[in-house]
Structure 1
Amino acid sequence: MAGALDVPEDRELSGYTGWTREHWLTQADYLLDSLKPYASPHSARFELPGRPSVSGFDSDALEGFARTFLLAAWRIAADRGRGPVAEDLIARYSSGLAAGADAAHPESWPRIPQGRPGQPMVEAASIALGLHYTREWLWDKLDTRAQGLVADWLGEFVGNPTWPNNWMLFQTVSEEFLASIGARYEESEIFRGLDATEEWYVGDGWYTDGAGRNFDYYIGWAMHLYPLLWTQMAEGGARNDRALSAREVYRDRLRQFLERYFDFFGSDGAPIHQGRSLTYRFATAAPIWIGEMFDCSPYGAGLSRRAASGVLKHFAEHGAPDSRGLLTMGWHDPFPPMVQNYSGPASPYWASKGFIGLMLPADHRVWTTPESPLPVEAGNFQTSIVPVGWALSGTKDDGVVRLLNHGSDKARHHTPPFDQHTDVFYAPLAFSTVTAPDTAPEAWAKRVGNQVTLIAPDGRISSRAVIEPGLAADGHVSSSYVPGFETEPGGAVLPIEGTEISTRVFVKDGIETREHSVTAPAGWTVREGGYPVAGPEQPVRGEKETRPGAFAVNDLGVMSQIEALSGWTAAGVDDELGANALGAFSATPYLTAEHPGGTKSYLSEVRVYRLPDEDDDGNEGVE
C-alpha cells in the first residue's frame, strides 16, 4: 500500500519502529488525499462508502467533513499554514465551511438540534477545534459572510442539552471558540462539562465517562484531551485565570494516567482490544501526544514517540487504511459486528485525534529523542489500576499485554434491580493485545470467551452484567457479580435469585491463576472460557489428556490455553465463523463442570501468548 510505508525508515533515531515525523506527515497526506473522490463539489460533505449510522446519510456526510477537518487542521499547523499541502487543505476546507454552514446551499450540513442531543454536536466540537488551531491561516482569512454562517451554525449549540458524558465537553470547546470570536455563548455551558468531569474523576488519572463504571479509551481521547485543549482555547480570554489554574490539575491527572497507559500497548504496537468505538484505532495515541504538548508525560519523549508511532505503524501494516487509502469500520479490516450503531462510514476518522502530535514542531524533543522501549519490551510486568479494578500483565518474550477486567462493566446503576444490558466490550474477564472478543450477536449470546457463566437445565446462559470490584493490586485482582438472564437478546438482564460468582485472579509472567467461588443450584453447569484466538484460517485446536484442559492456536502463532487445577471435570473448544475482528475463524478453549449445589470453588490456569517464530507445529507448550 502507499502512504508512510513508502518512506525510508530511520533505525538510528527510531530503533523500534523506524518511523519519524516524516512518516506521520506522509500518512496524514495519504489519508487526506484519498478522501478527494468522496468530497462534494464544494467539499462540505464527504460521502464515504459503507453502512450508514443511525443518524442518517446527511449526518454521516457532515461527520466526514468534521473529522477529516480535524486531521487537516493538525496537518496545516504542522506546516504553519505554508507550502502546497497546507495551502491546498486551507482552500478545500474553507470552501467546505462556507458551503456547509449555509442552510440555503445544496451541500448544507444538518443543523444542531434544539432541545435535545444530536450527532451534529459531536462534529461541532471537531470543527471548533480545527478552527481554533488553524485560526491565523484559515478562520481569519474567511470572508465575513462565511464567518457569520459558521458562527451561526456553531451557535445553535448554545442553550441545548447534551448526553451526560463526554458529549458535555463538546459543548465546552464549541462555545469557548464562539466566545473567542465574539459570538453568542453561555459561560455556564462552558463550565458545565468541566464541572461534570470532577464528579466522574475516580483517581490515579482515571475518569468514568458519565455515571457508572464506563472505563475505556474515551478516558484518554476525550476526558483528558478536551479539558486540556480548552485551557489553551481560554488562555488570554475572560476565563484565563480559571484556565491556568485548571491546567495544572489536568496536567497532573494526565501525568498519573500516563504512568500506566504505556502498559496498554504490545510490542507490535497493538493496543489492548477493549471498550467501545475501537474503530477509532490510533486515536489511542492522542493522550500520549497531549502529554508531550503539555509537558506532563512521566517518561521520556522517546517512549512517547515509540508508543505513538508503534500504534500507527501497526494499523498501517494491518489494513488500516485500506488499499483505497480509507479507514473502514473495523479494527484491521472492515468488521461490522464490532462497530456501534452510532458509527457511520466516516466515524473512523476520529482517528484524526491520533495525529495531534503533528502540531509539535520538527525540533521538539518528541521528534528528536531516540526511541526507548515500551514497558513490555523492557521486561515482564504486573501492574494495576486500583480505582478501575484492572490488572495488567506484560511478557517481554512475546510482547503480549493482557488486561484483567474486574471493574469496567458500563453499568450505570449498581443496586438491585440491576436491569442492565451486558456489553461484549466490557463484560469479559480479560482482554489482550493479540485477541478480541467474539462480537457477532450469535457468538456473544453463548458467553464463552473470558467469562464464567451458569447454564441452566433449560439451556439458558447467564450474563455478567454488574461487577462489584474487589482487590486490585499488582498481580492480584478480584470481583463478584450476580449472574442474570437476558429477558430477550440484547435486552435487560434480570438477576438469578440465590446465585453469585466471585473471582480472584493472580497473574505472574502472563500466567493467570483464576479461582471462582460459585453459588448456584444443583445440576446447573458452570463454564469458564479462555481467550478467543482468531485468524484467516481455522485455528488448530485440541484437549489435554492428563487433566481437563484445552487449547487453540491461530495461524500467527497466538496460543490460548485453559487448564483445570481443581473442580472442573471437562473441557472443549468453541469454534465460530465471522464473529471476531481479528479473523474469519475464531476458537475459544473452555472448562465445564456440573455444579453440586450451594457454594463450590473452581480453580483454573489461563494463558494467552505468542509462540516463538521458529515454532511451526502449533504445539509449543501444549502437553
Structure 2
Amino acid sequence: MERRNFIKIAPLAGLAGAMAPGKTLAAAANEGTVNNAATGIPGINGGTVNNTISGETVINATGAASEPAEGTINKATSVIPDRQYHVNLLQRISRPVVENMSKGTLKQNMPLEKGPGYGLAAEKVTYLEAFGRCISGLAPWLALPDDATAEGKLRKQTREQVLQGIVNGVNPASPDYLNFRTEGQPLVDAAYLCQTFMRAPEALWAPLDNATKANVVKELKELRRIRPAYNNWLLFAGMVEAFLLSIGEEWEPLRTMVATKKIQEWYAGDGFYSDGPQFSLDYYNGYVIHPMFTDMLKVLLDKKQGSKADYDQAMKRMQRFAELQERMIAPDGTYPALGRSMTYRTAAFQPLVQLALLHQLPEGVAPAQVRCAMTAIMKKIFDMEGTFDKQGWLQLGVCGHQPEVADVYTSTGSLYICTNGFLALGLPATDPFWADPAAEWTAQKVWSGKTIRKDYHVNY
C-alpha cells in the first residue's frame, strides 16, 4: 500500500520451465518443449497436455479428474475453458504460500526478493503480506460448498490448508507465527486477513477453534498501536475494527468513522477517489479503496452502525470506476502500466470482479465480457516467462521478471495481492459469468468497428 507518508512516521515469485528466453508458456507448450504442470501443481493441464512430471491428479477440460500419463507430452489441441483456466492459475499462484503456511514452512521456503531501495524490515513483514493478501483473494472460491468434482476436491483441500495456516499464523509456538506486533506494515496485511474472514465467514472463520479465534482477536487489537498514514491506510484501520464488530468483539467506532469521512472527502469524481489530499493516477482505487470501503460500509450497515445512503453511494461510485476499468482493457488483454505498485498485477481489477461476484456490474457490462477480458489479462501476465521463478513463486514485475518497476515497499510477499483479481471464482460454474458464451469486451468492439455504448461522466 502507499508507504510514502508512513515511512516518515516509522522506520522502516513459477514456471520458467525449460524454455528459451522470451518464450511464453503457451508458445513453449505448442512446441512440445515444456509440460504445463512442471511445478507439480494440480490443474495446470488443459486436459490434452499430459502431466508427466508431478504425478498428481489434474483437472481436465471437462472438469473431471484425470490421471497423468507417462512419457512425452502431447501438444495442446483444445482451448482450456475459462473457469478451468482461472482455477488452475489461482492454484498455481497460491499453492506455494498456502501449502507452506499449512506446514509451518513459509518462512523457511519463501524467497525474499526486494524492490530497489527497499525500506522495510522484510523479515518482519513479508510473510503476513504473502498469506493475508493471498487468502483474501481465495476466500470467495473457498466459500463455495463442497462437491464431488475435481475442482470441489481441490477447493476442499485448499480450504483445509488455509485454515491450518491461520492456526499457525497466530500461534506463538509455530515457526510461521506471523508478526502483528512490531513495524507499521502489519496493519495493512491484517486488513486483508480481516477481508478474508468478511468474505467467507462460514468457511474460514466459523470452523476455527476457540483458541485460534481468541489469538486472532488478540493480534488484531495489538494493531491499535499503529498510527495510520493519512491516505488509504485509514481504511486498513477501519477494516480491522469492522471485522471485530462483525464477530461481536469490542471495537473502536472512531476508526471506521474517520475512514468513512475522509474517503468521502477525497472523492475526486467520475468514480475516482484521491488517495489522501493529493490525487495521483494509479490503481489504488482497485487495490484498496473501492473494495475495502464498500466492504467496511456493508458491515457497518448490517450491524446498524452505518447508513444505507453511504453504502449505496459508495457502490455507485465503484460501479462507475469498474465501467471505466473494463474500457481500459485493450483488445489483446493489455492495460496501461502506470503508477505505484504495478507489481500487484491483477489486483488492479478487483472492483470489476468484485462487482461481478456481487451481481452488481454496471449497466451495459455483461458478465461474459468481464470473464473474457480478465482471462486475456491473466494470460498476458502469468503465461510470460519470469512471472514465476523456477520453484513456482511470484517474482517482481508486471509481465515477467521486471524488478526495476518494484517500489521501495515491495517484496515477494507483497505480490500475492494479485489473487484479488480472481474473486469471480466465488460464483458457481452455472452462473452466467462462467456459463454464458464468450463475449467481446468494449475495446475489442471499438477497434473492430462494432456498435458500442457511448460513455459519459457521472456526478454522484
Give the TM-score, by structure 2 length.
0.74
Matched, 1:360 2:360: no
Matched, 1:297 2:336: no
Matched, 1:345 2:412: yes
* AA aligned opposite 2:333: G
* AA aligned opposite 1:20: D
- The answer (yes or no) to whether the contact 2:98–2:158 under 8 Å persists in 1 is no
| 1:159 Cα offset (Å) | 6.0
Q: Distance in 1 between matches of 2:396 and 2:294?
A: 29
Q: Which moved more, 1:96-105 or 1:190-199?
A: 96-105
Q: Distance in 2 between matches of 1:131 and 1:37?
A: 19
1:499 matched residue in structure 2: none
The alignment-based identity, stated in percent, is 23
| Unaligned ranges ≥5, structure 1 | 12-16, 381-395, 398-472, 475-623
Calculate the aligned-residue CA RMSD, in Å. 2.9
Residue among 334, 340, 353 paired with 2:401: 334
Q: Distance in 2 between matches of 1:36 and 1:353?
A: 15
> What are the superposed Cα offsets for residues 280-304 of structure 1, whole Å, 9 maximum, x if unpaired?
1111231211222341423222221
* AA aligned opposite 1:48: M
Identify if the C-alpha distance between structure 1 residues 371 and 97 changes in structure 2 by more than 3 Å, giving closer, same or farther. Answer: same
1:7 matched residue in structure 2: 46
Residue among 77, 85, 88 paired with 1:26: 88
2:197 matched residue in structure 1: 131
* AA aligned opposite 2:104: H
Q: Distance in 2 between matches of 1:81 and 1:340?
A: 42
> What are the superposed Cα offsets for residues 333-355 of structure 1, whole Å, 9 maximum, x if unpaired?
22221100111112111101101
- The answer (yes or no) to whether the contact 1:46–1:61 under 8 Å persists in 2 is no
| 1:37 Cα offset (Å) | 7.0
Q: Looking at secondary structure, tell me which structure has more strand per residue.
A: 1
Partner-residue secondary structure (3-state), 1:266: coil
| 1:43 Cα offset (Å) | 5.7
Q: Distance in 2 between matches of 1:37 and 1:236?
A: 34
- 1:188-227 to 2 correspondences below 5 Å: 188-227=254-293
1:84 matched residue in structure 2: 153
Matched, 1:308 2:374: yes
Residue among 283, 290, 297 paired with 2:347: 283
1:558 matched residue in structure 2: none
Residue among 34, 40, 50 paired with 2:112: 50
Q: Distance in 1 between matches of 2:200 and 2:107?
A: 20
Partner-residue secondary structure (3-state), 2:375: helix
Q: Distance in 2 between matches of 1:266 and 1:46?
A: 40
- 1:87-486 to 2 correspondences below 5 Å: 87-113=156-182, 118-158=184-224, 160-239=226-305, 242=307, 244-294=308-358, 295-298=360-363, 299-319=365-385, 320-380=387-447, 396=448
Identify if the C-alpha distance between structure 1 residues 91 and 301 changes in structure 2 by more than 3 Å, giving closer, same or farther. Answer: closer
Q: Distance in 2 between matches of 1:145 and 1:258?
A: 40
Identify if the C-alpha distance between structure 1 residues 216 and 231 changes in structure 2 by more than 3 Å, giving closer, same or farther. Answer: same
Partner-residue secondary structure (3-state), 1:64: helix
Identify if the C-alpha distance between structure 1 residues 221 and 365 changes in structure 2 by more than 3 Å, giving closer, same or farther. Answer: farther
- The answer (yes or no) to whether the contact 2:97–2:106 under 8 Å persists in 1 is no
| 1:208 Cα offset (Å) | 1.3
Partner-residue secondary structure (3-state), 1:202: strand
Q: Distance in 2 between matches of 1:205 and 1:80?
A: 37
Q: Distance in 2 between matches of 1:265 and 1:214?
A: 20
> What are the superposed Cα offsets for residues 528-564 of structure 1, whole Å, 9 maximum, x if unpaired?
xxxxxxxxxxxxxxxxxxxxxxxxxxxxxxxxxxxxx
Q: Distance in 2 between matches of 1:268 and 1:5?
A: 22
| 1:5 Cα offset (Å) | 5.9
Q: How many residues align?
A: 374
| 1:327 Cα offset (Å) | 1.6
> What are the superposed Cα offsets for residues 109-149 of structure 1, whole Å, 9 maximum, x if unpaired?
22244xxx711011101111112223212321212111101
Q: Which has the larger radius of gyration?
A: 1
| 1:276 Cα offset (Å) | 1.2
Identify if the C-alpha distance between structure 1 residues 260 and 67 changes in structure 2 by more than 3 Å, giving closer, same or farther. Answer: closer
* AA aligned opposite 2:400: D
* AA aligned opposite 2:269: G
1:520 matched residue in structure 2: none
> What are the superposed Cα offsets for residues 7-36 of structure 1, whole Å, 9 maximum, x if unpaired?
26999xxxxx96422221121122233446
- The answer (yes or no) to whether the contact 1:172–1:189 under 8 Å persists in 2 is yes
> What are the superposed Cα offsets for residues 353-406 of structure 1, whole Å, 9 maximum, x if unpaired?
1011111222222222223223321124xxxxxxxxxxxxxxx59xxxxxxxxx
* AA aligned opposite 2:244: L
Identify if the C-alpha distance between structure 1 residues 36 and 260 changes in structure 2 by more than 3 Å, giving closer, same or farther. Answer: closer
- The answer (yes or no) to whether the contact 1:266–1:376 under 8 Å persists in 2 is yes
* AA aligned opposite 1:376: A
- The answer (yes or no) to whether the contact 2:138–2:420 under 8 Å persists in 1 is no
| Unaligned ranges ≥5, structure 2 | 1-35, 49-59, 62-78, 450-454
Q: Looking at secondary structure, tell me which structure has more helix per residue.
A: 2
Q: Distance in 2 between matches of 1:18 and 1:166?
A: 38
Q: Distance in 1 between matches of 2:108 and 2:190?
A: 16
Identify if the C-alpha distance between structure 1 residues 37 and 105 changes in structure 2 by more than 3 Å, giving closer, same or farther. Answer: closer
Identify if the C-alpha distance between structure 1 residues 66 and 60 changes in structure 2 by more than 3 Å, giving closer, same or farther. Answer: same
Q: Distance in 2 between matches of 1:84 and 1:300?
A: 30
| 1:203 Cα offset (Å) | 0.8
* AA aligned opposite 2:91: D
1:556 matched residue in structure 2: none
| 1:46 Cα offset (Å) | 7.2
Identify if the C-alpha distance between structure 1 residues 359 and 45 changes in structure 2 by more than 3 Å, giving closer, same or farther. Answer: farther
Q: Distance in 2 between matches of 1:251 and 1:66?
A: 24
Identify if the C-alpha distance between structure 1 residues 47 and 278 changes in structure 2 by more than 3 Å, giving closer, same or farther. Answer: farther
Identify if the C-alpha distance between structure 1 residues 144 and 35 changes in structure 2 by more than 3 Å, giving closer, same or farther. Answer: closer
| 1:254 Cα offset (Å) | 1.8
Identify if the C-alpha distance between structure 1 residues 29 and 105 changes in structure 2 by more than 3 Å, giving closer, same or farther. Answer: closer
- The answer (yes or no) to whether the contact 1:43–1:95 under 8 Å persists in 2 is no
